[in-house]
Amino acid sequence: MNKRIVLFLSALFSLALSSCSQTSEPLYNGSPEALICQEADLPGEYILLEDLSGARPNEELSIDTENPAESEQYIEATGRLEGWENRFMLVVPTQTLPGFVLCEVVKFGSSEGANTALNWPVNETREVLEVERQLGDAMTFTKISFKAPDDSTWIDYRVEFTYRNLLGAVSTYAPENIASQDYVLEIAETLMNNFTDPSLMDHQTPESTED
């Protein structure tokens, strides 16, 4: 083969390898607390349950299991860095709003880690719901029913989605005659808007990818 062609192909190959190491979408490196939903973000009058809210560091992580090894496996597989959780209670009960709302933001070392966390198996069996609205890079929408202390049936609707190296989650808890998909989706969209707020660009760093 002509030497010039060999050199040309070699240069192209080197360029291709170099392009694989170029930066992709930036990673968020700020605090999850800066992104979490607050009372004003909810469609109703809620109060923050401060004693049940706050930072969720890796050393306090519990992924619905009593086995510490499973939590360690999850942290290693996902590259989880830190999380924040806010829990809210409705001040005045209504016939339309969920009584309780849970909002979570978790930061991982990479977008791949966030995606792994989104698809991590859980112990409880939840019904997967189909919905036209999609949030972030990937999203799941599920529900599960449970019995309240007064033996009434409640429904937990849950939206989880990823955006770059972040995972956002919103759950609403309400009696089955009040529970609505619309409210949990509305709050999740508000959380997603926080993830894409241009003012957060100061808290991002490039993510290097390798083919």
Using a CB cutoff of 8 Å and minimum separation of 24, what contacts does 206-210 make? 206/23, 206/24, 206/26, 206/27, 207/23, 207/24, 207/25, 207/26, 207/27, 207/110, 207/111, 207/164, 207/165, 208/21, 208/22, 208/23, 208/24, 209/20, 209/21, 209/22, 209/23, 209/24, 210/20, 210/21
Q: Write out the residue range of the structural domain in which residue 105 sits.
A: 25-205
pLDDT of residue 194: 94
Residue 5 forms part of a structural domain = no
Q: Tell me the whole-structure pTM to 2 decimals.
A: 0.82
Number of structural domains, the chain?
A: 1
Residue 6 forms part of a structural domain = no
pLDDT of residue 195: 94
Residue 155 forms part of a structural domain = yes
Residues 48-93 pLDDT 10s: 999 999 999 998 887 655 566 788 899 999 999 999 999 999 998 8
Task: Label residue 121 by pLDDT band (50, 70, 90).
Answer: confident
Residue 67 forms part of a structural domain = yes
Residue 1 forms part of a structural domain = no
Residue 104 forms part of a structural domain = yes
pLDDT score of 178 more than 80: yes
Residue 7 forms part of a structural domain = no
